[in-house]
Amino acid sequence: MAKMTLKLPKMATSMQNGTIVEWLVQPGDTVAQGQAIYVIETEKTSTEVESPFAGRITPLVAIGDLLPIGTPIAEIET
Amino acid sequence: MSDALSKEQAVGVYRTMARIAATDQRIQQGLAAGALQFQYYPCGGQEAIPASIAPLLNDDDKSVITYRCIHDIVAKGTPIREIIAEMYGRETGTSKGKGGPMHLSDPNNGLMVTTGIVGAGAPIAAGIALGEQMKGSGRVVTCSFGDGAANIGAVHEALNLAALWQLPVVFVCQNNLYAEYTSFAESTRSESIAGRATAYGMAGEKVDGTDPFAIHAAATRAIARARAGEGPTLLECVAHRLQGHAFGSEEAHMDADKLAAARAANPVKRFRQRLIDSGFAEEAALAAIDAEVAQEIDDAQAFADSSQAPAASELLADVFASVADIPEVGKRPVMSAASIPDSAGRKIMYGQAINEALDQALAADDKVFLLGEDIEDPAGGIVKATYGLSTKYGRTRVRGTPISEQAIVGAAIGASMVGYKPVAEVMIIDFAMVCMDQIANHAAKLRYMSGGRTSVPITLRMLTAGNIGSFGAQHSQSLECWFAHVPGLKIVAPSNAADAKGMLLSCIDDPDPCIFMEAMRCYFVPGEVPEASYRVPLGQAAIAKPGTDITIISYSWAMQEAMAAAATLAEEGIDAEVIDLRSIVPLDLPSVLASVGKTGRALIVHAAVEFGGFGAELAARIQEAAWGSLKAPVARLGARYTPVPFAQNLEAMHFPNAEGVVAKARALMKA
Ligand SMILES: Cc1ncc(C[n+]2csc(CCOP(=O)(O)OP(=O)(O)O)c2C)c(N)n1
């Protein structure tokens, strides 16, 4: 079983930063691949982001902070 | 030949669709996890299109595709691990990590070009098809583009040319009903793209792009036509996009109900079920395929993860065939010493020298061919540069074209990618503007974007009518600077007949795209030209007149003014050294610096507008490298900042002339 790190994704051409405005999961939840796990807000829009992996999720960042793309935001034990 | 998919083929199509979907998902997984960060164009919904055509193509059949490419490239046979590695910018990727998600190339599997410029692949596909047609290879070219691309001029030119020449190409319009954020209906009044085929005089067919049986049947007919020499087909495959334009893009502009319906009818899942329902395959067999595909994707990911980023030396590699041709200070172009035979006093005009070079190139190598507007006899070109050649070599090798500069340059690019050495005429350099995308985004960059796996050895001849009176603002420019700003182009501007011949032959031999700038002012000027075939190397300036007091650097027709000025200056006791740069790229900076080191003064003279002209670049480089030996600031004399005027008195004022050169030189001598 591997530990996968999720980083803040680049959701649009112009995106440099984003803010997680809501976690849709609790620490320790088991998530399915494709399940919406958080809501990200960028300059333009807010979007639900789906989990790329299935497994036990641990969010690493709080909501509300402006984060550069590539910032580690969660870990998933698959 | 039956156009129905056999059981075995149908299962094969499913496997390809599953491999496409899994690759697409793996990339999106990397993007969602933030491991990959780029604009990605998913292919969900369109998997069936290339998967159903693939069984009809051989490895050496060619394809030209676009940025929304994963389905096309997987179906063409490129190993998935090389695709994933390219996404991660690894040296093991299809393009050594230098192309990226929009520019995958895999010529081993016939994947020739992936372009990020909407519609731009069509002229190149036509060119590749032209090459295969001339070879008589029986190969076919497929060219994918979107419904949005169908409204691009380059596609129109390519369709017309392909129909005119009955080229073996299948234009596959993948109509996913949207172009970025604009729907099909908002882009055209045409009910279908395929319906336009009739107007071009080619076959057209529209099919359900989610139905492998329908796609395969139509593609069978189209490919059979192409292989039989019956010309191109415009095959429209309609398949609703299953997501926004790019990964993460909003979907607000898409009809929500139709999108939901299309998703519910996911073509991969639907085809899987259909195979089971129709008794083509057992669930277990398909599950086994799914498991193999999952393993292949995991292996591909591991391959990418364990691969290295490209070495630093890759930065400069593949701009040209040779790194030495990159015009950077201190790098002298490597070339063999020019051994020019004796002219024995034989004099011909510059224009005749060009004709002679083309004639000798055509005679020496059957891979050389010419194309352009009006180049065939009896016209033989607007200034007779190609006169007599179509009569001597036939209209296959000296081919007149419609007035379609994008198609002309694209055809040259495509044919060069499959072994030809095309010499395309763009008539007047000002017309290069209408095909600049083919030149600057494609000819110049394909070697680099493919990590050196493809090359574009073409010569583009262009004429300027500057300073001969009466051609005005749109036929008289000197645009070398536009080309010089695009890494990957060689730019040659001969001033005399001997150089015109020897450098044109060098351009035709050269492995890189060459812009060969001809000047009407020089066309009817005679010069001593050896009759035999010879080469004047690119990147080697000539000392047209030796001197000690000031270095005057020029090229093309402005050399006439520079030489006249040097004669006047000599009468005043000023001994100017005149350097004919001959090529802008490669740039013989060492010869310039050697001269300026000796004279301490430099004056650059060119016909192009002085502001932002190539003289600025050269002046800066001289200043940086020769500061210590300069006795005066480096000076420039170019054309005034105006469009080229028609009235002769104004045109004369616009362009630099000998008097102006003399005045500048005198001023520098006093500094
Ligand atoms: C010449 C050009 N204009 C605009 C763009 C920006 N652009 C990228 S994709 C796209 C939409 C193209 O739509 P379509 O041809 O239908 O292909 P699809 O993306 O749907 O596969 C546009 C406008 C571009 N890359 N090139």
pLDDT-derived band of residue B364, with 50, 70 and 90 as boundaries? very high
Encoding tokens for residue B135? 């070879």
The residues with which B126 forms a beta bridge, in sequence order, are none
Alpha-carbon torsion (A63, B26, B248, A12), positive or negative: positive
Map B426-451 to HEC letters. Answer: EEEHHHHHHHHHHHHHHHCCHHHHCC
| Whether pLDDT at B390 is above 90 | yes
**Domain A3-77, CATH:** 2.40.50.100
Predicted confidence (pLDDT) at residue B72 exceeds the cutoff of 80? yes
Q: What is the per-residue pLDDT across B248-271, written as a single tens digit (0 to 9) for each?
A: 888 889 999 999 999 999 999 999
- For position A45, what pLDDT does the model report? 79
Tell if the CB–CB gap between A10 and B246 is shorter than 8 Å: no
Chain A interface, Cβ < 8 Å to B: 4-13, 15, 44-45, 47, 49-53, 69-71, 73
B147 in ligand 1 pocket by Cβ < 6 Å? yes
Average pLDDT score over residue span B117-146? 98
Nearest-5° Cα angle at B275, B274 to B281: 155
Q: Residue B596: what are its φ and ψ, rounded to 5°?
A: -65, -35
Domains of chain B (ranges; CATH) run: 7-306 (3.40.50.970), 324-528 (3.40.50.970), 542-670 (3.40.50.920)
Cα separation, B544 vs A10, in Å, equals 57
pLDDT score recorded for residue A57: 94
Q: What is the pLDDT of residue B375?
A: 98
pLDDT band at B47 (very low <50, low <70, confident <90, very high): very high
Q: What residue segments make up the domains of chain A, in order of their start? A: 3-77
* Mean model confidence pLDDT for chain B: 96
> Would you state the structure tokens that stand for residue B165, as one six-digit string?
């020449």
Percent pLDDT > 70 in chain B is: 98
Whether residues A9 and B32 touch (CB distance < 8 A) is answered with yes
B121 lines ligand 1 (CB under 6 A): no
Contact yes or no for B257/B263 (Cβ under 8 A): no
| pLDDT for res B331 | 58
Burial B367-392 (b: 16+ CB within 10 A, else e): bbbbbbbebbbeebbbbbbbbebbee
**B131 compared with A17, residue with greater pLDDT:** B131
**Residue whose pair of structure tokens reads 């926004």 in the numeric block:** B244
ipTM confidence: 0.78
b/e per residue, B20-41, with b = 16+ CB within 10 A?
bbbbbbbbbbbbbbbbbbbbbb
Quote the CA–CA distance of B463 and B466 in Å, as a whole number: 9
Identify the closest residue of chain B to A74 by CA–CA distance: B33
Sorted by sequence, the CB contacts under 8 Å of residue A6 that are 6+ apart come out as A51, A52, A72, A73, A74, A75, A76, B32, B33, B34
Of A9-18, B44-53, B518-527, the poorest mean pLDDT is in: A9-18
DSSP classification of residue B76: H
- Looking from the CA of residue B68, the nearest atom of ligand 1 is 21
- Average pLDDT for residues B23-33, to the nearest whole number? 95
CB A38 within 8 A of CB A24: yes
Residue-wise pLDDT for B407-424, tens only, equals: 999 999 999 999 999 999
Q: Which atom of ligand 1 is nearest to the CA of B245?
A: 19
Specify the pTM: 0.95
**Among B401, B350, B348, residue whose Cα is nearest residue B373:** B401
> Would you state the pLDDT for residue B638?
98
| pLDDT at position B500 over 60 | yes
Confidence of residue A34 (pLDDT cuts 50, 70, 90): confident
Does residue B649 carry a pLDDT above 90?
yes
Q: Given its phi and psi angles, is residue B138 left (phi above 0), alpha (psi -120 to 50 degrees) or beta?
A: left
Mean pLDDT of B139-152: 98
pLDDT on residue B450? 98
pLDDT of residue B338: 59
Q: Two tokens at B182?
A: 């604009």
- Decide if pLDDT at A13 tops 80: no
